[in-house]
Chains A and B, each alone.
Chain A
Amino acid sequence: MNDALTLTNLTVSYKDGLVLDNVSCAIPTGIMLAIVGPNGAGKTTLLKTIIGLLKPCSGSAYLLGHPYDNVRKKIAYVPQRASVDWDFPVTVFDVVLMGRYVHLGWIVRPKKHDHDVAWYALAQVGMTHYAHRHIGQLSGGQQQRVFLARALAQEAELYLMDEPFAGVDMATEKTMISVLQLLRDAGKTIIVVHHDLQTLDEYFDWVLLLNIKAIACGPIKEVLMPEYICAAYGNRNFFVNPRVRRTYEMSRE
């Protein structure tokens, strides 16, 4: 069986230097992976490079064993919430229906089936009652749910999400995690850019520790080691995660 994501020596640079340096890793299907690292570690850049929005200087990214363009329909991308204008004149349902466009292609209009899928996606994130609201009337958490519903409507195999929990309320975070865990249990792969080390082992199966280079990638227990965290964050965040603190204390004893 193919890996969900294979990165080989991926290197990306902007004008002022390297943003990603020789990142390699292989991520199996059917897991929830968090990409974590300090600010400016290249997490968003990594996602954008994987889906072809940015061109790497060298190296390659394979998704589900293929180049991105061949498996576009099976990859759902959830951009950062702030990337769109939430005052735009569309309703919640309109936005969720956009998840179906990748299957429709040019000119073809959404059909009954597409509407059904969009309604189901809205129900999964608990936003059915908001379907005909204007998106400007939503809270931050509700906006993020709408973005998740749009990704669900795409019925993808691999979900790539950029900071989905940034600025959302606790209830939304819990709802979204349980939806994502259901997806994982159905064999889908979920890759999330995450910023909160506290909740890592509660939510995720695997971690990719990133700071320009890939520091470590693997199951949580193997990656959340003091030396790795240290390499990614410096000493600053050494004790943020309870599991890291325990292993560190045990090693001292």
Chain B
Amino acid sequence: MSELITNFTFITVLLGVSILGISSGILGVFALLRDQSLLGDAISHAMLPGIACAFLLTHSKNPLILLGGGAIAGCIGALLIPYITRHTVIKKDAALGMVLAVFFGIGLMLMTCIQKKSIANQAILNKFLFGDASTLLRSDVYLMAGLAAIILFLVWLFWKELLLTTFDPLFAKTSGFNVQRIEQLLIGLLICAIAIGLQTVGVVLMSSMIVAPAAAARQWTSSLRLMAKLSAFFGVCAAVSGCIVSSLFNRIPTGPAVVIALSIIVLFSLLGAPHRGIVWNRVRT
């Protein structure tokens, strides 16, 4: 353990997962409050075929290129959902599920194709499925930090608009704010946050990094500002502890370890939080 902490690569890895925890924790607050928790899940799954396509086309293992491909596919998936609900009789939850399954299916098919072709560097694709924090490089962390800085800046800049459109979209519209623009901004930021986490947590479990810290934070506070900070804090705690566990026990991928850490935080918050926790309410009645 003490060996781990002084290890230079390990510090890089910790830095990376902390950035992930902060950015997805903060964005998760808005996803949760706007009843869009599943959107993150659909987008992250939709990114897999993009990553595979980018790899097929370039044979590169540069995360910038792969995540770029993933982001394009994520955008297409996110745009498809409102398109489906508007032009067919299919409802939103079904559209989300369809986009998630179809894109993920295509992604898995492409990955099998790539494996059969035995292209060099193809092993890198597997870590996008369940995540592997131990392979994070310095350059990866720089990319993650850049994306996180964009997210934090834009959330800070549009805080007032995010608050208003999330709380009361009708009133926001009559106050002259374009609700759809803010929605698009949030989806763009969500794609950035997911891109940050893909190498560490993987497409399958990434959505939990967005929903769980926010859900836990909501239990402890009724202030949006504090909720965002707490959510970021929980995100960091879970990402760091999951990362340490997966480094200590070599065979555990990081994604599942992070999710288990998150579950413990959520469970504790649901039970023990004052005012909203189950135990609190039991004792009071």
Contacts and interface: CB of A to CB of B under 8 A. Distances in A.
Q: Do A and B bind each other?
A: yes
Interface residues of B, number: 24
B174 A107 contact: no
B157 A89 contact: no
Nearest to A133: B222
Interface string B88-118: 0000000000000000000000000000000
Contacts of B167: 84-85, 88, 90, 95, 98
A101 B170 contact: no
Contacts of A53: 170, 173-174
A89 B227 contact: yes
A102 interface: yes
A104 interface: yes
A9 B157 CA distance: 43
8 contacts: A72-B174, A73-B176, A79-B170, A89-B224, A89-B227, A91-B223, A98-B168, A101-B172
A63 B175 CA distance: 15
Contacts of B177: 101, 106
Contact of B168 (A52, A83, A89): A83
B245 interface: no
B45 interface: no
Given A98-B164, A101-B177, A104-B160, A89 B221 contact: yes
Contacts of B76: none
B171 A77 contact: yes
Interface string A125-160: 000000000101000000000000010000000000
Contact of A89 (B173, B174, B222): B222
Contacts of A90: 163, 167, 222-224
Given A98-B171, A102-B175, A89 B161 contact: no
A109 interface: yes
A84 B158 CA distance: 21
Interface in A36-68: 51-53
B80 to A, nearest CB: 24
Please give me the 6 A-B residue pairs with the lowest Cβ-Cβ distance, nearest first.
Answer: A134-B222, A102-B175, A77-B174, A89-B222, A89-B224, A84-B168
Contacts of B221: 89
Contact of B161 (A77, A88, A91, A106): A106
A52 B170 CA distance: 11
Contacts of A51: 174
Contacts of A79: 168, 170-171
B174 A101 contact: no
Nearest to A98: B164
Given A52-B174, A88-B166, 15 more contacts: A75-B174, A79-B170, A85-B167, A89-B218, A90-B223, A94-B163, A95-B167, A101-B164, A102-B176, A106-B161, A107-B160, A107-B161, A109-B160, A110-B160, A134-B223
B186 interface: no
B79 to A, nearest CB: 24
Interface in B135-165: 157-158, 160-161, 163-164
Contacts of B222: 89-91, 134, 136
Contacts of B72: none
A105 interface: yes
Nearest to B161: A106
A245 B177 CA distance: 47
B138 to A, nearest CB: 35
A77 B173 CA distance: 10
A69 B177 CA distance: 12
Q: Quick one: which of A51, A73, A98, A136 has the most chain B CB within 10 A?
A: A98
